[in-house]
Amino acid sequence: MSVRFRDDDACWCGSGKMYVNCHKDFDARIKRARMQMHKVPSRDMIKTPAQVEKIKESAKINVAVLDYISERICEGMPTSDIDKMVYEQTTKMGGIPAPLNYEGFPYSVCTSVNNQVCHGFPSDKVILKSGDIINVDCSTILDGYFSDSSRMFMIGDVDPKAKKLVEVTKECMMLGFKAVKPWGYLGDMGQAVHDHAYSNGYTIVREIGGHGVGVQFHEEPWVGYHTKRGTDILLAPGLMFTIEPMVNMGREDIYVDDENGWEVYTEDGSLSAQWEIQVLVTETGAEIISW
């Protein structure tokens, strides 16, 4: 049960403002939406101004690490080198790689090559070769706050069909971002992503999606891309989540490696691409926190 606030109480968000001048109208809007049977975020899903600032500091490291990888990733490199670079650069800047030992995951980063959908294990046996596409998924903890984003890289001479997949997947992500509006719905974003992927002849993985992030590595809401406009959770200012569609060239079906229980592949062996940004819903629109 939520605590009732009087007008002259300090607002629950920690801004230091009186409730009447801060989140009183916000709470009234949430209450109306709930009465209309819409799914609404709880207060603990709304990031406070102080939390946002801390998360942005974490994101500075995350972006810097991905920039570092962007300048160095190349043909002939084992993906284990990427893992080493992520660990070294993250810790050098005072952060902790969030994936490392998360629920038993043994590496500092996910490196998913070609038909790997996500959670790829870095390895000295996986050598990047001309024509490969790879997703590098980087996540950082700084002072207990989390940032998360990923990028695709095309190695050497990439087939035009693979290149198109990578480019369209990025377009899907950005079209999803453009659909994020305060007091809209998460389904607005989901349909924008879905429609662009399928209009280009691709499919999107159903079982794995984006997620809330910031105070924890994975929070509510769960973010899918098979939703409809006007549905799913209300995009209240302060809500933070990732947009990270996993777009397949073939069918949407996937499987998880039986041996390690982590690496995810396309069932039909087709290529898969993923880009990820961390997004904050604001009073006037949306902001990309990590990319």
* Cross-strand bridge partners of residue 248: 203, 272
Q: What Cα–Cα distance (Å) separates residue 222 from each residue in 41, 100, 199, 256?
A: 12, 22, 24, 20
Q: 38-290: which CATH topology?
A: Creatine Amidinohydrolase (3.90.230)
pTM of the model as a whole: 0.94
* Cross-strand bridge partners of residue 111: 136
Contact 223, 242 (CB under 8 A): yes
For CA atoms 173, 233, 23, 182, the dihedral sign is positive
E strand residue ranges, 108-228: 110-113, 116-118, 133-142, 145-154, 203-204, 210-212, 219-223
How many Cα atoms are found within 13 Å in the side-chain-facing hemisphere of 288?
17
The two beta strands, 219-223 and 133-142, are unpaired
Written as six digits, the tokens of 38 are: 């819409």
**Please, what is the end-to-end C-alpha distance for the chain in angstroms?**
36
Amino acid at 284: T
Could you tell me the strand order of the sheet in which 254-256 lies?
A: 116-118, 264-266, 254-256
User: Which of 65, 69, 121, 137 minimizes the C-alpha distance to 94?
Assistant: 65
| Residuewise pLDDT in 10s, the chain (291 residues) | 467 889 989 998 888 898 888 888 888 889 988 989 999 999 999 999 999 999 999 999 999 999 999 999 999 999 999 999 999 999 999 999 999 999 999 999 999 999 999 999 999 999 999 999 999 999 999 999 999 999 999 999 999 999 999 999 999 999 999 999 999 999 999 999 999 999 999 999 999 999 999 999 999 999 999 999 999 999 999 999 999 999 999 999 999 999 999 999 999 999 999 999 999 999 999 999 999
The rounded distance, in Å, linking the Cα atoms of 268 and 278 is 30
Written as six digits, the tokens of 162 are: 């693979």
Query: Phi, psi at residue 282, to the nearest 5°?
Result: -115, 180
